[in-house]
Structure 1
Amino acid sequence: MTLKLVIVGAGMASGRVIEHLVEENPDAFDVTLFNAEPRGNYNRIMLSPVLSGEKTYDEIVTHDEDWYARHGVTCRFGEHVIGIDRDRRVVIGQKGEVSYDKLIIATGSAPFIIPVQGKDLPGVITYRDLDDTNAMIKAAQEGGKAVVIGGGLLGLEAAAGLAERGMQVTVVHLMGHLMERQLDEAAGYLLRRDLEKRGITIRTQASTKAIIGNGQTEAVLLEGGETLPADLVVMAVGIRPETRLASDTGLEVARGIEVNAQMQTSDQDIYAVGECVEFGGHLFGLVAPLYDQAKVLAQTLLGQPEAFVVKDIATKLKVTGCDLFSAGDFAEGPGREDIVFRDPSRGVYKRLVIEGDRLVGAVMYGDTADGTWFFSLIKDGTKIEEMRETLIFGPAFQEGASADPLSAVAALPPEAEICGCNGICKGTITNAIASGATDLGAVRAQTKASASCGTCTGLVEQLLQVTLGDDFQMPTAQPVCGCCDLTHEDVRRLIKAQELKSQEAVWQELGWKSRNGCHVCRPAVNFYLLADWPLEYRDDPQSRFVNERKHANIQKDGTFSVVPRMWGGITNAAELRAIADAADKYNVPTVKVTGGQRIDLLGIKGEDLPHIWADLNKAGLVSGHAYSKGLRTVKTCVGTDHCRFGTQDSTGLGIKLEQILWGSWTPHKVKLAVSGCPRNCAEATCKDVGIICVDSGYQVGVAGAAGMDLKETERLVDVPTEAEAIEWTVAFIQLYRENAKYLDRPYKWVAKVGLAWVKERLIDPVERARLVDAFELSQSFFRKDPWAEQAKQAERFQPLADLTLEAAE
């Protein structure tokens, strides 16, 4: 029997209830959905990007007309519910009655209006829905000045959006610093400073006395007597549960509609969900608990009741360029101590609040990469006494690693929550990636991670990068990242054209929205500067991916892989003894021969890396750069030395190429192979550069692939001598370094520019000689064994320069 379910309110919470119902039992209910707005469910969290112009309304629609039609939902949008007759079990709408077996009230919340003179003047609006957003957009099109009353999340998002659209904006806030519920005073100061840099005026400890105007808003009068000119006034001082319908119906109401752990009201057939709800004395204004409520309610309706539990909530600000994270309780009190980390020059501030041997609160500004990990420690009540001294440096440091966003993500356990809005953990996302979701859109579609407020998008992308490794590809024809509007090609061109020779110059001259870049753009810009200005620019290790920073490949369990270089695949007894001794000494669980003719030591603990490198260095072994965006291997067959079919010394050529090219940084990894005859035992025809030795000399092919894409090399040139084969190979690598987009493999780059263009450049002997000289020049600065460099510091701990660590008891 299909039951009649009526829902009042088509917001995000009730929308998620319907999703759960149709996914688990689409025939269980005949659903009628009322909504006072003339539209269905859209992502209200993303109204801020709509206001700022970053998104359109169509892009934030969650359920369109087709979705409702496919799932048999009767929509009564733009119709207010006048009342509920519990005795007759009917909902009374403006256009008629609908009977129900079960009823859900999801009326959300109403904005609080300050009871001051002038509050009803035209030009005074609140900020809750699409109509409010459209009103602000219309006002901004006419220009002028805006005053936003309220320095909380909504108020600052409104201020940022209006400023982005060209209005002169002043924020009036009653308290001493912004977002006082989520931030301490120090973080509030940094937030204020960044907003002021964007042209927003901030007035704290300011109270509104009246709104002045003659038929239209003209100014805001403060209690101190100051008058702020205003063509638009936005009230964003808080929300209250919308309970009028429930109260009129006779349901139990306190501050919100009172419900039990199954979201049931005082009437057994009426439920409530969302911001209108009160449970255990708690009200709810963020989306994460609303989605938890929705899941519990759907299971209750399907006869599989669960219990709603109030959880800790983390907060992030959705204002571009302001990286902010807050979780737990950071109030001062007896028995509590703080760990504070400040780097004023970079605008980074972190504060951890410890009570006993537990982390109870965290506030972060400017660098929030470790926020998810700190939040998990707070939620789980993890004992932190053993990592007390290094806790502030985040999860990667606990394993002996330097602080690094990707390392931190890799170190998170599978149960760590990544998407707070939808309650999606790391394991769910990695499982989706393993099953074929290899880009952000696919992960979002399968798991809903990053589909709500979007603040976890960077974490999801980092998980993609950690999980996919070298198969991770940046989206094509897209900006480098959210920090700018430029493509990789634009950035490369402008760095050269404007002779930008530092990251700071790039951020400043190319209009970066973030003064320090992010984990996506910093590695790319770092490489472009290295490739274009090898004499003037110095590599920034902090702008590299975790594998390159650690000089080893991080594994899924947080251990590392160590691959010594074996020139051309040739080794000797001494090197093999050193590898065997290292495997014994460091309890290496797995020793494997790789496809590139190397030996891989898997399962090395992070703290053992410098020591095992030192031991291998003593035997003459150097890094195989199995982790780098650079030369990986040069695979060879035995050639004329031993094989009766060999036509040239393939092993010798492979060793020479590897010794010339090793240690070079390139847009992506580069693999070479040299086969001694057309039988191709070294598989040279599917490498980035593959050389086939023939009786008449050497056939040089490029742009092959044998990963997620399978592609045969394209013939670049046939040359009679070994020296020419080396020259053409080095010139091709340098041409790739100078022109390719970061994270494009050579085959993707050649597909974009065309092999004819590559040949045209390289066939010119003057240009070919220039490319070889440029490569050799860069190598004179780049080439060094990172293992040897790191091994020298095995017993040293060098804190980052100019950073201050304060521990206050």
Structure 2
Amino acid sequence: MAQKLVIIGAGMASGRLIEHLLDNDPNAYDITLFNAEPRGNYNRIMLSPVLSGEKTYEDIITHSDDWYAENNVTTYFGEAVTTIDQDAKTVTSKSHTVTYDKLVIATGSAPFIIPVPGKDLSGVMAYRDLDDVNKMLAACDKKNAKAVVIGGGLLGLEAAAGLKEQGMDVTVLHIAGHLMERQLDPAAGHLLRKELENRDIKIHTEGFTKAILGEDKVDAVLLEDGTIYEADIVVMSAGIRPETRIATDLGLHVERGIVVDDGMQTSDPNIFAVGECIEHQDQLYGLVAPLYDQAKVLGANLLGGDEIFSPVEISTKLKVTGCDLFSAGDFAEGSDREEIVFRDAVRGVYKRLIIQKNIIIGAVMYGDTADGGWFLQKIKDREDISELRDTLIFGPNFASGAPSDPLAAVAALPLDAEICGCNGVSKGDILAAIEGGADSLDAVKMLTKASTSCGTCAGLTAQVVQIGLGDDFVLPEADTICKCSDYSHDDVRKLIISKELKTIPDIMQELQWKTSCGCITCRPALNYYLVCAWPGEYVDDGQSRYINERVHANIQKDGTYSVVPRMWGGITTPDELRAIADAADKYNVPTVKVTGGQRIDLLGIEKEDLPAIWYDLNEAGMVSGQAYAKGLRTVKTCVGSDHCRFGTQDSTGLGIQLEKAMWGAWSPHKFKLAVSGCPRNCAEATCKDLGIICVDSGYQILVGGAAGMDLRETELLAQVTTEEEALELACAFYQLYREGAQYLHRPYKWIAKVGLDWVKGQCVEDVENRKALAGRFHYSQTFYQVDPWAERASKGKDAYEYSPLADFSKVAAE
């Protein structure tokens, strides 16, 4: 009979532990997992790309709800453990009490909040988990928002870079004389500071925080020297502390962290601990590689093994796009140490090796970190480098005194050379995976997890795979539609038309797809390309859409949904407002919010209530606002000439005409419009995908703006004199974008690719082509301008029962 294993904390260390147990003996334990966060295991290393907008939360999920269910792991998410009874061997949360035979504490760490006045003000936050990232992203919505990040270490700088990418004015306060002083020497710290300042991130070193100012919320940060920095948010990134409260309450041996032996056992023989919460041989751990080693050791020991955790040398890398940084070992100065330094001021490259008795004991690199893994291996091996001394700083390609094939250096690495530090993957592990049948880079990554965490070892991983596969190695091209195909997005679109391919199976058969039913990258794109190419012939495949488009609502972080009824041009009526209020009351909607697009968002709706609330809103005459769609979202308007003394035209009326003409059309990405009644631009038309500015002589049609991750001002497409011309040109531009852009590309990316002059030639200068484009758009609308709420509400509980997007076996079979 399986023993009962209870794990407290669903982070990366405990997630890897569960994987080891399931891989080696899936029936050994009945596993129950508690987590204070309302979600399971995700890749916290990649929170910085989520903050910057390069990735979404869905991109960094390690273990989905389906994964836990498939592996019979009982989960209690959003439930912090309140008490543990060692005598009864029970764990209790707010709602559940569970017995255990073995207990694992994996509570991670808590951010250190510096004890200054104002630390509890609204707007002061840490940077440790997804909830923190969501708070920061919410703050980015405010125009000209300012952020102060306290702490110039690894996490603080990643937070600063991400907030800057989101458009905030960012200042970093750091107590030391240079950034990342634990990992970098002053010279590398200077280069890093210079790069960040070039990105308009302010850096204040030797900045001692005296107080955070404000009444109900943060307004500014005051330093000891009297300097004041205004702030809408303050991000505390001044270090972490092991989360040991549960262990302390139990009376376990706790020093700085929960003390464990070499087998990860605490002072209670039935309780174990892994991750950032532990202390082993007087050492704490904050990087993922040793945490994964701990999980591997504990996994083996829970299955009867006798493994020992032996920490190895680890490296640090900064996950800020464009800031290449590597640090490993001990780089402090000393009388018995010497150093080799390489500087290239023009290229911004700096390398420094610390050598003691002909052994590399530390390495710092900035600007060019490609050889970091090679130097790290030599630090671990304590290799005598005396014969390589003259060319050592230039890396493995010059190790023999002259340039060589880059692959030769990788081929010369020993089998135990570490390739992926995050996941503890050696060169031998990768080659063993290939010998076991892995026949591609993706297959190797799937089996070994190499380069699936922070991704900085991707190049080295690919080189090892290339060595292992030889002539069979194919590096996926970055511009292919996905790993299933060798064709680019543009090629696929052209072939759909030229070969008259009218179903997804037809495309995959004719274009020799490498997988039988596609993947979550290609299927949504193919579905859209077919919708656009064959209106009236192709039937939209709901199973090939993302979750929000499948359920016609935006999923929220707690699993509820938001519903946004359409308000034409931002205009509503008392009856509509009453209907919204009635729906909010009837379905216990916790949050009702006015959106930036002049609509009302009903947040926190349970999935099973979606058809009913759609029905009620439909009955009141309202349709889906499609706030979830790759399609027309909003048409923002000002009051225009009907009410405003500065208005030159009826901007509200034109906005309503535009929205009623263009809603419901699927497009490569979301599409936002605005119409401003005069050049004062109250509707912010100059940062939309398509904007119209009303002037005395007519209408200026503007395109290619953005106000999200990228901030871009629109460019003038044309100026016309009548509403009819404005409508025709808007529809023509939209259709040209729909027919030509790559899936998931906003208009500004497409315009950058094809050129604004070409766009003008197609839909401004060529009048006949403009009319043809508008005609094709209106024709497609006769088939797709249908309210999805009305369709789905009529189906009741089956309204959104599509197969998960990742499972296309049913589609392939049909």
The alpha carbon displacement at 1:404 in A equals 6.8
Structure-to-structure mapping, 1:684-703, within 5 angstroms:
none
Structure-to-structure mapping, 1:370-381, within 5 angstroms:
370-381=371-382
Residue 165 (structure 1) aligns with: 166
One-letter amino acid matched to 2:450? A
The alpha carbon displacement at 1:441 in A equals 2.5
One-letter amino acid matched to 2:59? E
One-letter amino acid matched to 1:394? G
Change (3 A) 1:194 1:472: farther
> Match of 2:276, SS?
coil
Residue 179 (structure 1) aligns with: 180
Residue 262 (structure 1) aligns with: 263
> Match of 1:333, SS?
coil
Alpha-carbon contact 1:127-1:154 (below 8 Å) kept: yes
> Match of 2:226, SS?
coil
The alpha carbon displacement at 1:473 in A equals 3.6
Change (3 A) 1:463 1:187: same
Residue 535 (structure 2) aligns with: none
Residue 25 (structure 1) aligns with: 25
In the alignment, structure 1 residue 341 sits paired with structure 2 residue 342: yes
One-letter amino acid matched to 2:380? K
In the alignment, structure 1 residue 34 sits paired with structure 2 residue 34: yes
CA displacement 1:136-162 (0-9 Å, x = unmatched): 111112241111100000000000101
Residue 12 (structure 1) aligns with: 12
Alpha-carbon contact 2:151-2:236 (below 8 Å) kept: yes
Residue 311 (structure 1) aligns with: 312
Residue 221 (structure 1) aligns with: 222
Alpha-carbon contact 2:148-2:231 (below 8 Å) kept: yes
TM-score normalised by L of structure 2: 0.58
One-letter amino acid matched to 1:86? Q
In the alignment, structure 1 residue 200 sits paired with structure 2 residue 206: no
- Quick one: distance in 2 between partners of 1:332 and 1:488? 53
Q: Which runs of 5+ in 1 are unaligned?
A: 482-486, 491-809
Residue 331 (structure 2) aligns with: 330
Alpha-carbon contact 1:465-1:472 (below 8 Å) kept: yes
Structure-to-structure mapping, 1:328-727, within 5 angstroms:
328-402=329-403, 405-468=406-469, 471-476=472-477, 478=479
> Match of 1:389, SS?
coil
The alpha carbon displacement at 1:186 in A equals 0.5
CA displacement 1:728-785 (0-9 Å, x = unmatched): xxxxxxxxxxxxxxxxxxxxxxxxxxxxxxxxxxxxxxxxxxxxxxxxxxxxxxxxxx
Residue 47 (structure 2) aligns with: 47
> Match of 1:368, SS?
coil
> Match of 1:282, SS?
coil
- Quick one: distance in 2 between partners of 1:480 and 1:464? 22
The alpha carbon displacement at 1:134 in A equals 0.7
- Quick one: distance in 2 between partners of 1:474 and 1:17? 32
In the alignment, structure 1 residue 3 sits paired with structure 2 residue 17: no
CA displacement 1:702-736 (0-9 Å, x = unmatched): xxxxxxxxxxxxxxxxxxxxxxxxxxxxxxxxxxx
- Quick one: distance in 1 between partners of 2:405 and 2:179? 29
Residue 779 (structure 1) aligns with: none
- Quick one: distance in 2 between partners of 1:375 and 1:474? 26
Residue 750 (structure 1) aligns with: none
Structure-to-structure mapping, 1:69-148, within 5 angstroms:
69-143=69-143, 144-148=145-149
Change (3 A) 1:366 1:234: same
CA displacement 1:514-555 (0-9 Å, x = unmatched): xxxxxxxxxxxxxxxxxxxxxxxxxxxxxxxxxxxxxxxxxx
- Quick one: distance in 2 between partners of 1:129 and 1:257? 21
Change (3 A) 1:149 1:134: same
Residue 62 (structure 1) aligns with: 62
Change (3 A) 1:120 1:457: same
Residue 758 (structure 2) aligns with: none
The alpha carbon displacement at 1:414 in A equals 2.1
- Quick one: distance in 2 between partners of 1:241 and 1:314? 21
Residue 281 (structure 1) aligns with: 282
One-letter amino acid matched to 2:134? N
> Match of 2:135, SS?
helix
Change (3 A) 1:480 1:283: farther
- Quick one: distance in 2 between partners of 1:456 and 1:161? 21
One-letter amino acid matched to 1:319? V
The alpha carbon displacement at 1:116 in A equals 0.6
> Match of 2:10, SS?
coil
- Quick one: distance in 1 between partners of 2:467 and 2:489? 21
Residue 598 (structure 2) aligns with: none
- Quick one: distance in 2 between partners of 1:488 and 1:223? 56
- Quick one: distance in 2 between partners of 1:191 and 1:469? 38
Change (3 A) 1:132 1:229: same
Alpha-carbon contact 1:394-1:403 (below 8 Å) kept: no
Residue 698 (structure 2) aligns with: none
- Quick one: distance in 2 between partners of 1:366 and 1:279? 34
- Quick one: distance in 1 between partners of 2:415 and 2:402? 20
- Quick one: distance in 2 between partners of 1:302 and 1:328? 34
Alpha-carbon contact 2:391-2:401 (below 8 Å) kept: no
Change (3 A) 1:205 1:488: farther
- Quick one: distance in 2 between partners of 1:199 and 1:128? 24
The alpha carbon displacement at 1:198 in A equals 1.3
Alpha-carbon contact 2:149-2:159 (below 8 Å) kept: yes
Residue 664 (structure 1) aligns with: none
Change (3 A) 1:27 1:471: closer
One-letter amino acid matched to 2:232? D
The alpha carbon displacement at 1:23 in A equals 0.5
> Match of 1:369, SS?
coil
> Match of 1:325, SS?
strand
Residue 189 (structure 2) aligns with: 188
One-letter amino acid matched to 2:139? A
- Aligned-residue CA RMSD (Å): 2.1
Alpha-carbon contact 1:53-1:165 (below 8 Å) kept: yes
- Quick one: distance in 1 between partners of 2:181 and 2:481? 34
Alpha-carbon contact 1:370-1:408 (below 8 Å) kept: no
Alpha-carbon contact 2:184-2:327 (below 8 Å) kept: yes
Change (3 A) 1:121 1:321: same
- Quick one: distance in 1 between partners of 2:139 and 2:470? 47
- Quick one: distance in 1 between partners of 2:11 and 2:40? 7
> Which structure would you say has the larger Rg?
1
Alpha-carbon contact 1:108-1:276 (below 8 Å) kept: yes
> Match of 2:294, SS?
helix
The alpha carbon displacement at 1:488 in A equals 12
Report the identity percentage: 65
> Match of 2:104, SS?
strand
How many residues were matched structurally? 486
The alpha carbon displacement at 1:411 in A equals 3.2
One-letter amino acid matched to 1:205? E
Alpha-carbon contact 1:394-1:408 (below 8 Å) kept: no
- Quick one: distance in 2 between partners of 1:403 and 1:351? 22
> Match of 1:364, SS?
strand
Alpha-carbon contact 2:8-2:81 (below 8 Å) kept: yes
Change (3 A) 1:122 1:440: farther
- Quick one: distance in 2 between partners of 1:468 and 1:101? 46
- Quick one: distance in 2 between partners of 1:353 and 1:459? 23
Change (3 A) 1:136 1:407: farther
Change (3 A) 1:406 1:200: farther
The alpha carbon displacement at 1:374 in A equals 0.8
The alpha carbon displacement at 1:431 in A equals 3.3
Residue 640 (structure 1) aligns with: none
Change (3 A) 1:488 1:189: farther
One-letter amino acid matched to 1:309? S
The alpha carbon displacement at 1:480 in A equals 13
Change (3 A) 1:339 1:167: same
One-letter amino acid matched to 1:429? I
Alpha-carbon contact 2:441-2:475 (below 8 Å) kept: no
- Quick one: distance in 2 between partners of 1:8 and 1:463? 37
The alpha carbon displacement at 1:356 in A equals 0.8
Change (3 A) 1:13 1:421: same
